[in-house]
Structure formats: structure tokens, C-alpha cells
Amino acid sequence: MILASGPDCWGPPASKGQVDPVEIDWRRKDGTVLKVRLSGREVGSGDGEVGGYELIAEDITKQRELEDHLRRQAAKDPLTGLANYRHLIDVLDTEIKRSERTKREFSLLLFDMDGLKQINDRFGT
């Protein structure tokens, strides 16, 4: 499979003869998605000219799945499954920026759940 005739398809080189890695989705024959990181570099011909390009395709599917799992764990309380304070701050920051950009107001509703700390202290990890 020819992906490109040169590094121009990836944009300007990050350093002499190399391009920044690109992450893409490939589809397997069974329809599942494979996350792939493509990286490459020029290969010299010995006389100072570019003889070709070396392309490395790396399967990063499991790495991305683990990162997504860790992000979800970091945003939720393990016992209740409710969003935690860190997630609240991230969402609130996003909404403030959106409100400033669109000039539209938004509302914030917070609940104080009695006894949640004791439940979390007793059954949480």
C-alpha cells in the first residue's frame, strides 16, 4: 500500500528528514478499529539524495484504551460513579469559556447530599 509519495503529505518535517507522528484509525477485516501511529523519515541513497522513505506503523489501540479508562476513572468517584470535583472544575471551565465566547448565560445547580461522606468513608476505596 502506498500511503504517500513523500513527507509533504504530513506537512513540514519536525527535524531534518523526519516528520511528526500521525495517529489514524484503520479498520480490520472484521470491522473493528485499530488505532495506528505512523511515523517516518527520509532514507538517503548514499549520494546525498533522498533514496526513499521509511514508514513505521505502530499499533497503539491498547495504549489509547488504557488512557481512556484512566481518564474515566480520574473523573468519577469509584463508589458512586458520580463525577468528582476535578471533573466539575473541567466542565465548569469549559462552560465559562463557551459562555464568554457565545455571550450566552448558563446555570449551575449543585446538590448537597447528606451522609455521602460517611458512606464513601465506610465503603469507598
Could you read off the pLDDT of 17-38 as tens digits, one per residue? 667 899 999 999 999 999 999 9
User: In terms of DSSP H, where are the helices of 1-125?
Assistant: 61-75, 85-102, 116-123
Element (H, E) at 27: strand 18-27
3-state secondary structure (DSSP) of residue 78:
coil
Instruction: Specify the pLDDT at position 78.
Output: 77
Cell of 80: 458512586
Average pLDDT over residues 46-68: 89
pLDDT for 14 beyond 60: no
Domain 7-59 has CATH 2.10.70: yes
User: In the chain, which residues fall in CATH 2.10.70?
Assistant: 7-59
Instruction: Specify the pLDDT at position 2.
Output: 38
pLDDT for 8 beyond 70: no
Could you read off the pLDDT of 100-118 as tens digits, one per residue? 999 999 999 887 777 877 8
Mean pLDDT of the chain: 82
Instruction: Specify the pLDDT at position 18.
Output: 67
Could you read off the pLDDT of 70-82 as tens digits, one per residue? 988 888 887 778 8
HSE value, Cβ hemisphere, 13 Å, CA-based, for 125: 7
Cell of 71: 481518564
